[in-house]
Copies of this chain bind each other. A is one copy, B any other.
């Protein structure tokens, strides 16, 4: 027990000393790790915020139920309430024949010649049905449509199948791309950080050799390096987090304006505390792993 404490003390002191003693190596490795993590973090932020935007677009996913001609107001209300209870439905909006005509007119750009030419309103009343988030997919949509299909008073269901399919595909593609890029980026970071630490350890091979010659056990030599890698990873991640936050604060105002114009309200978000923790933890992990890997091939020479 006593010995363990002493050993840990030496390991910690040796790690700190190692970091201080070779400022070039330490600094260079720190910067490299931080830069790699900034890349990963920036990509993470981008994906997170894109995800939010995509979800908002997904809200446009809706089913229009055209109603039978001459449905009574009462039946309409009952139908709307009934529809609301269908599994997967988030909200129901009633659009009367008059509403339909007005919207139609607006769509044509208000050139009112059209409405005047009509002797009766040919447009049906309808229900605009939005879906809960979990149902926003081609499959989910079909389930909802099937549930609605039998309801009395509904003449036809329209839900832009093609559009939905395209959207779903786009979503899964972007997600796939995101995951792909994230994997590549994570791998690259691991490699870069690992290599950086390997070089840093290599630059201190004298020390490793001499420790071995005076009788240091394998763990006595390696644990300080692991601690160093861990500390460097943690520090670098904190640096990266700080840098990302600065970038975020600088870029958000101009970006937000642009996005708002495109897609309505938007406020790019920073990481949640949990995500921050994750970033720092992965920095620490990668650092420690890099140090461990540095010894794998090298071994005792």
Contact = CB atoms under 8 A, between A and B. Distances in A.
B202 A35 contact: no
The number of chain A residues touching the other chain, given as a range, is: 35 or more
* Pairs of residues from A and B, 3 with the lowest C-beta to C-beta distance, nearest first: A199-B199, A117-B122, A173-B258
A202 B199 CA distance: 9
Interface stretch (A25-33, A84-92, A209-217, A279-287): A25-33
B262 A32 contact: no
A24 interface: yes
A29 B191 CA distance: 11
Contacts of A202: 24-25, 28, 203
A173 B173 CA distance: 21
A39 to B, nearest CB: 6
A181 B41 CA distance: 12
B28 A199 contact: yes
B191 A31 contact: yes
Interface of A is mostly: helix
A170 B28 CA distance: 38
6 contacts: A39-B39, A111-B156, A117-B119, A118-B118, A166-B261, A169-B258
A188 interface: yes
A192 interface: yes
A170 B259 CA distance: 8
A191 B32 contact: yes
Interface string A54-74: 000000000000100000000
